Amino acid sequence: MNVPVWIWFATIALVIGMIVFDFVGHVRKPHEPTLRESAVWSIGYIAFALVFGVGVGLFSGWTYGGEYIAGWLTEKALSVDNLFVFLLIMTSFAVPKIYQQKVLLIGIAIAIVMRGIFIAIGAVVIEQFAWVFYLFGAVLFVLAYKQIKEAVATDDEDGDAGDSRLIRAVRRVVPTSSQYDGDKLRTRVDGRAVFTPMFLVIVAIGLTDLLFAFDSIPAIFGLTQEPYLVFTANAFALLGLRQLYFLIGGLLERLVYLAHGLSVILAFIGVKLVLHALHENNLPFLNGGQPVPVWTIPTWLSLLVISGTIAVAAVASLITSRRRAAAVEATTAEVPAPARD
């Protein structure tokens, strides 16, 4: 896929413009988004991402269009899973609802920059060393195991994101106030300039985004090796995440099988990566340094497996959550009312 430099610059300018528009149009004036506002903008961002994929298919071929859609779906699912952590961070720091938009948008901007750096590094490494696909495959298998292990764990040990070791270390080094001062990052306490908890929230979000990049980049490179598609799939999956946070905030706890579905997707992409690595093999100790004749997973099958897994996980989650809620209501109804004297 030959992407001219001007298209790269135009796409990056578009992404920056969308972030600036989001900030000026919605975040600059602190408020808690309504359900309707969140729904309209979430649908708009999703529609834009899908239309972009159609454009890729029309102008560059449907193989690339399919790779983009599969990558975008995977990144979107991983982003939804990441919302659980964002919710934990917001709760830990007791961020007022009206200021959560600003934190999320800054976090999204940080994530796009970090992933852009990782994508550039990954593209160069892949170009020079084909064996890195084996490494990416191994990383995805480990992440898939971690996802399923956490999903079936009986003890919930999420911890307090606002009291992590690194945040405590930042508090010791950086003078920080105990109270918010609107959405300011710095304030004055007893005549001394100090950072507010908002600064610590953004640090926590930034560190979390860095960890998420280690999950996301190997997964997307398992679906397409085109840096342009990797970047746009990541960027357009992250854009609109702010609105999605407020739209499905109440549903996050009900997506009980999302982690199970993600573990299946990551393991599937891991298999795809290993097969691709064998097909492109140049390791001298494996098959004499020659490619191994193995079947490679086509794009249409990747798209089918990813979309099907997400759909099954979402439907199963909602059905299970509804049954659990009904069971709780039935148990509550059976409890006799206390007798009156």
Q: What is the DSSP annotation of 312-325?
A: HHHHHHHHHHHHHH
What residue type is 41 in one-letter code?
W
Look up the pTM and report it: 0.77
| 295 in Cβ contact with 169 (< 8 Å) | no
3-class DSSP assignment, residue 152: helix
- Per the structure block, which two tokens stand in for 139? 């990383």
- The per-residue pLDDT for 157 is 47
Question: Residue 287 carries which DSSP code?
Answer: G
| 133 in Cβ contact with 274 (< 8 Å) | yes
Average pLDDT, integer, range 290-309: 84
What residue type is 244 in one-letter code?
L
User: Higher pLDDT residue, 97 or 68?
Assistant: 68
Average pLDDT, integer, range 212-220: 79
3-class DSSP assignment, residue 195: strand
User: Higher pLDDT residue, 172 or 318?
Assistant: 318
pLDDT in tens, 11-40: 999 999 998 888 887 777 777 777 788 888
- The per-residue pLDDT for 118 is 86
